[in-house]
């Protein structure tokens, strides 16, 4: 069990590929992204949704990336879903139903978390642009195009 916990904690050392590819200095880790999502969700989650489930989805949604890597649309993602499912089932089978719920995106909580995922990316791009001489408009526009909730979208204007 300790080995699996140590492996999961390696997510704190895995830099986000999109930021690396775009030349961001000291890019956030995948774990920092998950934490950012959890903070946003804690602050912005609608009262009628299950907050515990939302926070759980935020924290585990990228966990398989510790084995699979942080793949972006610029990478070969043809086997991404299968590889991530296999990794999650081996690393944390008790969380597999949550992971599957997030991936399917059918529940209100999963739909909200998917939008929070994009909101975190867009806001992080804004932070990097404000602190570094870099343009990350593609990330902000991608976030905007994937968020349907007008309240969440307003944070990117």
- Which DSSP string corresponds to 33-69? HHHHHHHHHHHH--TTS-HHHHHHHHHHTTTTHHHH-
Q: Is residue 75 a contact partner of residue 17, using CB atoms and an 8 Å limit?
A: yes
Q: Going residue by residue through the chain, which has 157 residues, state the pLDDT in tens, using 9 for 90 and above.
A: 899 999 999 999 999 999 999 999 999 999 999 999 999 999 999 999 999 999 999 999 999 999 998 877 777 767 888 999 999 999 999 999 999 999 999 999 999 999 999 999 999 999 999 999 999 999 999 999 999 999 999 999 9
Q: Is residue 17 a contact partner of residue 29, using CB atoms and an 8 Å limit?
A: no
Q: Which two tokens stand for residue 103?
A: 């991936």
> Under DSSP, is residue 137 helix (H, G, I), strand (E, B) or coil?
helix
Q: Where are the domains of the chain?
A: 2-156
| Beta-bridge partners for 15 | 29
Class of domain 2-156: mainly alpha
pTM: 0.95
């Amino acid at each position: 069990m300790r080995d699996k916990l140590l492996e999961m904690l390696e997510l704190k050392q895995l830099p986000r590929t999109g930021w690396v590819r775009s030349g961001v200095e000291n890019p956030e880790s995948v774990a920092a992204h998950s934490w950012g999502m959890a903070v946003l969700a804690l602050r912005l989650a609608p009262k009628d949704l299950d907050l515990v489930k939302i926070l759980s989805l935020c924290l585990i949604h990228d966990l398989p990336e510790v084995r699979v890597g942080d793949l972006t649309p610029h990478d070969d993602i043809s086997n991404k879903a299968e590889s991530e499912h296999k990794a999650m089932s081996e690393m944390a089978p008790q969380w597999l139903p949550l992971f599957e719920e997030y991936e399917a995106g059918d529940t209100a909580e999963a739909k909200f978390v998917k939008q929070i995922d994009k909101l975190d990316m867009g806001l992080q791009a804004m932070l990097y642009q404000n602190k570094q001489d870099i343009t990350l408009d593609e990330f902000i526009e991608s976030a905007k195009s994937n968020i349907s909730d007008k309240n969440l979208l307003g944070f990117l204007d």
